[in-house]
């Protein structure tokens, strides 16, 4: 799940300087779970903007703001109010905000900061889990991501700085490599630690990446 956090009120207001009428777009997926883009947050944003003299002339709550096809349909509900609004405020993640911006010729401003791809530990508690490195090594690390959970993203064992099982960079976190060792030990797979892995080739990654499943099928 994409974890997001609401931006400070002052920052949102600074984007909207001079705006009198705005449209709000929420998101029924991750942003709802994160309490940054659900129906309640849309209502709160509406009241907040009204208290600063900005009228919300329309809002939608799409199932998924990052789904371009879906958003194209959802935005039709705003066809009467979009021409008269000064800006659109997106309460989704950065992906959803970009999707909306790509579909309309209006200024689209993010209400949220997109933080990370994470696990929902329990309601309102999220932990970063994956940095989308494109070359997953979880098969060798007992299902614990060294790229994300180790502060130095080490892939060939610990740095040696851990104290009392904690990471030397952030003492609040356990050392990921101790966790990986313990998990592999439990699984009877300590031999996996003997393999040396090549440094990951991040420099070869050209952003933005595109995956086209249709093309792949075509090539088969
Ligand atoms: S190794 Fe870690 S960062 Fe890379 S894809 Fe797997 S979980 Fe994500
Ligand atoms: S102490 Fe452990 S988690 Fe922290 S940087 Fe070193 S190896 Fe990574």
Residue range 27-69, pLDDT digits in tens: 999 999 999 999 999 999 999 999 999 999 999 999 999 999 9
Taking the centre of ligand 1 as the mean of its atom positions, its distance from the CA of residue 132, in whole angstroms, is 6
CA dist 190 and 186 (Å) reads 9
Q: Which ligand is nearest to the CA of 176?
A: 2
pLDDT in tens, 190-209: 999 998 988 877 776 778 88
| Closest residue to atom 7 of ligand 1, CA basis | 130
Give the ligand whose atoms come closest to the C-alpha of residue 119.
1
Predicted model pTM: 0.90
* pLDDT at position 218 over 90: no
116 is written with which tokens?
């990370």
Distance 171 CA to ligand 1 centre (A): 23
Edge-to-edge strand list for the sheet holding 2-6: 2-6, 112-122, 125-130
Q: Which domains does the chain have, with CATH numbers?
A: 2-115 (3.40.50.2300), 132-204 (no CATH)
What per-residue confidence (pLDDT) applies to 2?
Answer: 97
CA-to-CA dists, residue 148 to 44, 55, 182, angstroms: 33, 42, 17
Count other Cβ atoms within 10 Å, centred on residue 200: 15
SS3 201: coil
């Amino acid at each position: 799940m994409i974890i997001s956090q609401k931006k400070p009120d002052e920052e949102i207001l600074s984007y909207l300087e001079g705006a009198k009428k705005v449209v709000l777009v929420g998101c029924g997926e991750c942003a709802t779970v994160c309490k940054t883009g659900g129906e309640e947050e849309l209502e709160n944003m509406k009241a907040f903007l009204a208290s600063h003299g900005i009228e919300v002339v329309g809002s939608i709550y799409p199932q998924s703001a990052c789904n371009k096809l879906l958003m194209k349909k959802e935005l039709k509900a705003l066809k009467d109010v979009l021409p008269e609004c000064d800006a659109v405020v997106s309460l989704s993640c950065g992906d959803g905000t970009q999707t909306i911006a790509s579909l309309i010729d209006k200024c689209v401003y993010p209400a949220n900061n997109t933080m990370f791809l994470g696990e929902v530990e329990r309601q309102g508690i999220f932990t970063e889990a994956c940095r989308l490195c494109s070359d997953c090594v979880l098969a060798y690390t007992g299902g614990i991501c060294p790229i994300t959970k180790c502060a130095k993203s080490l892939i060939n064992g610990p740095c040696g700085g851990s104290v009392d099982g904690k990471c030397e960079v952030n003492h609040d976190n356990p050392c990921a490599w101790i966790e990986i060792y313990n998990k592999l030990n439990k699984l009877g797979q300590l031999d996996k630690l003997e393999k040396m892995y090549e440094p990951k080739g991040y420099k070869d990654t050209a952003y933005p990446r595109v995956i086209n499943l249709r093309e792949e099928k075509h090539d088969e």
